[in-house]
Structure 1
Amino acid sequence: MSTFRRRTVLGLAARGTLAGLSAASWAHLGGRAAASQASRTRFRAVVIGSGFGGSVAALRLGQAGVDTVVLERGREWPTAPDRPVFGSAHGITDTMFWFRDTACWPAMLPVPIARTPGVMEVSRERHLDIACGAAVGGGSVVYTGVTLAPPRRYFEALYPSGLAYEEFTQTWFPKVRAMLGADRMPRDVYNSAPFTHSRLWDRQMGKAHMPCFPLDSAFDWNVVRDELSGRAALSATVGDSDFGCGNGAKKSLTRNYLPAALATGHVQLRPLHEVRSISRGAHGRYRVVVRRLGLNGAILGTTEFSCDLLFVAAGTLNTNRLLVAARERGELPDLPDSVGSGFGDNGDQFNLRSQPLSPIGPCQGSPSASGAFLHHEFELPLLTESWVLPGYAAAPATVTLAMTVDTDHRGTFRFQPESGQVVLSDWTREKSAAGARATLAYGSRVVEANPGSLPVTLNNSRTLTAHPLGGCVIGRATDLEGRVKGNPGLYVVDGSLIPGNVGGANPSLTITALAERAMSRIIAAGG
């Protein structure tokens, strides 16, 4: 690969410039050669999805010299210092949601919007809303950057014994942190006005005898400082990051794994390519049917790709949709019966407290500064993190995201022949009830320890998780490297490997570490 090409791709990533990233990977080619590359449909490997698992797969395949294409249903989202956000609770746009008629987010008005390939999918499943990213970079575009490992006790209780915790803490977690550039919020940012709420949250936790610890985050603190000084459009410092930071305030996968994958010269990226079905054809090659989308949501056509190696990393929701449908329609009839089972919501719960007598700051910044782990105090162990919801960013209230360690309650994705859809069929409110009770008890204890605080009810009629996990559980539907049992050349490398609950952590670090471990062994074994 030419020096010019490598510098072009990695230079775009360093500046946070995303538009044209895939085109930059062909910068060394002439017009005819580039057109030929852009129209190819046969590859050694296909990766479905460009989120945490898919980006790892793309990079490591590219480094191994494997001819690879990444198919991503979402758009490439440009970033620049003067771009604030792609959309927010105070400026709802058509491009915020993936093909929805109305906005759907906690504390957000359900205003009508046009159906477009927006940056966030919210699927209204049975008794549960599931949110997931729909963009080049997947969930890294819309998450809040916390990069945290689960405690040993819960990791060992949830994951197969063949996954050694020491291997992850010594090798894979540090490798991922370094790639993502995750670190703690600097003191000058923590002490700034937009993070008054973070300091208040820490003080309240201290009074409740719940010691906090700083969280590693994948925010770019230099961009956050630019916001504070007026050199960049406001996004992270005003609580508007759930739908992306247009100014580049997040170190999304478009800043690290993806450009590095394209820079190998062996990987192509095809955005707005939505995979509709997968099957196995002649000679054992996999067939992947996609529909090509326009920026306005128009269907531009259908294309069929073929490959020897298929890496499914479409995110938990869509990986289960694809695989369960393929099994039930007879397109991949040998998929294990366990595919689709073992889903969990990571115990996600929100808790709000009002502080009418305490300064909250001019507006609450998005990055999470602190967390606390409560192992024995409540019905379930729970991790609590200082958080912010867009609709409450200017309100005198602090928000906590709790992730309870729930080892029991799981759901199943099933195919509905009459509609041709795969749905979460058996989730009930009772499966979230223990986590809700533990989180409510936590909030009550903090309120009791802090006179002047009041509990706030979040008026959201449905439970929402932004951390869907499971369905292709590692060690059950796959081996310990994500090879799908009974289907040579088929791999799963995303959050659906996790057994419904990370074990007291945000999922991104563990998803990426599992993918790194899997790819190292798959490549070493030649498949």
Structure 2
Amino acid sequence: MSRLIKRRHFLQASLAATTSIGISAIRGSAFNSEEYVEAIVIGSGFGGAVASLRLGQAKIETIVLERGRRWPITDAGDTFATFEKPDGRTTWLSPTTLFFDQSPIDIYTGVLDVKVGNGITAYRGAGVGGSSLVYSAVTYQPNRELFYKAFPRSINYEELDKVYYPRVRSILNPAPIPDDILQTDYYLASRIFMEQGAKAGLKVRKQSMAVNWDIVRQEITGQKVPSAINGVLIYGANSGAKNSLDKNYLKMAEATGHVEIRSLHVVTRIEELNNGRFRIVCNQINEQGMIVGQKSLICRYLFLAAGSIGTTELLLRAKVNGTLRRLNKYVGQFWGTNGDALSAVINKYPTNPSQGGPATSVIEHFDNPIAPVIIEQTPLPNLQNGVIASLGQAIAKPEGYFTYNASTQSADLFWPTNSPNNQKNSQALQYTYQLLDKANDTTVAGPPDSNGTTHPLGGAVMEKVCNTYGQVYGYRNLLIVDGSMIPGSAGANPSLTIAALAERCMDKFLLHRIR
């Protein structure tokens, strides 16, 4: 696989620019003035976007603090950088790009960030809209059996199925790829992948995608800059084909008139005050990551939605520094990768492997005798023609953990790559690929590469750090609404489940909040 996809891991030291903006030396008492607001949401990804909209609709004055910048789609189609011409827009405060060949770039508040851990590299988005800017737009609802392999029985799957999953879909507006688009040359790899899965006797289907397929048609006819059809999605879609959160949930939240989104605000400190309110200290930065101001805000209700890595780090820092004294010992524990593993299959004929996105189709091998797995075909740049790349996912146990590093004032991540469960998942994926090879005369390029994840989950999980409605134990008005509360795996691509759980959390909060 390494010969096909030239992905190298950064050393943590090469990302010093990321942490240089992170911690403010100023304590809350040093501010001459403080801003008061009823609610604060930290982060604008799937959990934060849901929380923001529901708070706004409830007429609760809310400020959303987002570390990244806004990424409005331009008529010129040049909002994001591309694989062919990478620049600082690709990467969050790094001197080089993250994927494939590490090209030198200017340090900038780019759209993709990385957390280099011990045994794992975790990727996440940065910007208004969070990881929806860089994800593959897969809107996947796990079935009941898969769901309960990852989640506690205290969550009612039928309620999610009837109420919350449909509610999220009504806003994200996902749809499978239309046949007229699938039949174009751009989606040759997708068609071959589906044909090969069916020939192997496996269940294959189109994915539900948060994609505007009319815009993809405009890409095909030359009316929009090629993005989806060229597989350029990891750094954002210049055509605007992706239904990212800035176009729906967050836009609707701002339209209520009760929600203000402040981009380029990096939260450094959370502190409980004597009156039960929370003080949030943050650095305002420019697009080069330099601090241009420091702010202190006080709120009654605080919602953590900075993602698995961001939320966990904020809580660990507060626990170690004693600013949230009632946090328990489970903060930083029960982290996982969602079972992510990259693979590639070599064919004896052309496949157009770098074109046609996002991940339009999926093989579901739930009766795999080793462990249930799904495999999604995905376009990636710089692949040899004849290759089909895919992302496998399985039920990862929450075996990872964070510790707080006082010298860097950040969280260090640890993942047991070769644990028995991870080995089992790798064997299960290999078993499915062997079925594909046998039926199609193809060759798997190598063992699944599970050294990286685009779906980091856990670190502040439900029934350990918070209840299943996100309320942090010991803090009535402190809620977690993002992937950090999911114990290591969501059974499939987690974005839809994160949003559905956030909707469930917000219903409970708004019903029982203290007025």
Q: TM-score scaled by structure 1? A: 0.88
Task: Output the amino acid matched with 1:498.
Answer: I
Question: What is the aligned counterpart of 2:178 among 176, 186, 190?
Answer: 186
SS at match of 2:268: strand
1:484 pairs with one of 445, 451, 472: 472
Matches within 5 A, 1:108-507: 108-357=100-349, 359-361=350-352, 363-392=354-383, 395-406=385-396, 408-430=397-419, 432-451=422-441, 453-457=442-446, 463-503=451-491, 505-507=492-494
Letter in 2 for 1:390: P
Deviation, structure 1 residue 102: 2.0
Amino acid of the structure 1 residue aligned with 2:440: N
**Contact residue 120 and residue 415 of structure 2 kept, 8 A:** no
Change (3 A) 1:426 1:458: closer
Q: Which moved more, 1:365-374 or 1:249-258?
A: 365-374
Deviation (angstroms), 1:123: 1.1
Question: For the residues of structure 1 that align with 2:267 and 2:110, how far apart are their CA atoms?
Answer: 16
CA distance in 2, matches of 1:368, 1:411: 27
Q: Given that residues 193 and 362 in structure 1 are in contact (C-alpha distance below 8 angstroms), is that contact kept between their aligned partners in structure 2?
A: no
Would you say the 8 A contact 1:189–1:195 is kept in 2?
Answer: yes
1:513–1:180: structure 2 CA closer, same or farther, 3 Å change rule?
A: same
Shift of 1:481: 1.0
- Using the TM superposition, give the Cα deviation of residue 458 of structure 1 relative to its aligned residue in structure 2, in angstroms: 8.5
1:81-122 Cα deviation digits (max 9, x unpaired): 4315612332221121111222222xx101222222110111
- Paired residue secondary structure (2:35): coil
Does structure 1 residue 519 correspond to structure 2 residue 500?
no
Shift of 1:363: 5.0
Q: How far apart, CA to CA, are the structure 2 residues paired with 1:168 and 1:351?
A: 32
Given the superposition, is the C-alpha separation of residues 389 and 458 from structure 1 closer, same or farther in structure 2, using an over 3 Å criterion?
Answer: farther
1:78-117 correspondence to structure 2 within 5 Å: 78-83=72-77, 86-105=80-99, 108-117=100-109
Indicate the SS of the match to 2:281.
Answer: strand
Distance 1:122 1:340, change over 3 A: same
Deviations 1:410-469 (A, max 9, x none): 111111233322111354443633322222232222112112x23224997x71100000
Q: Find the residue that maps to 1:217 and give its secondary structure.
A: coil
RMSD: 1.9
Q: Which amino acid counterpart does residue 297 of structure 1 have in structure 2? A: G
Structure 1 runs not aligned, ≥5 long = 1-38
Shift in Å, 1:271 = 0.3
Residues 484, 491 of structure 1: 8 Å contact kept = yes
Aligned match of 1:65 in 59, 75, 98? 59
Equivalent residue letter for 1:369: T
Question: For the Cα contact (< 8 Å) 2:346–2:386, is it kept in 1?
Answer: yes
Shift of residue 377, structure 1, vs aligned partner: 2.1
What CA distance in whole angstroms lies between the structure 2 residues aligned with 1:389 and 1:73? 27
| CA deviation profile, 1:360-382 (whole Å, cap 9, x unmatched) | 24851112222121123242210
**Matched AA of 1:86:** F
Cα distance in 1 for partners of 2:435, 2:92 equals 38
What is the CA–CA distance in structure 2 between the aligned matches of 1:436 and 1:112, rounded to whole Å? 34
Q: Distance in 1 between matches of 2:229 and 2:140?
A: 22
Once the two structures are superposed, residues 8-66 of structure 1 have per-residue CA deviations (whole angstroms, 9 ceiling, x without a partner) of xxxxxxxxxxxxxxxxxxxxxxxxxxxxxxx9831000000010000100000011010
Q: Distance in 1 between matches of 2:370 and 2:223?
A: 47
Counterpart of 1:12 in structure 2 is none
Q: Name the structure 2 match of 1:34.
A: none
Counterpart code for 2:504: R
Identity %: 35
Distance in 2, matches of 1:210 and 1:404, equals: 16
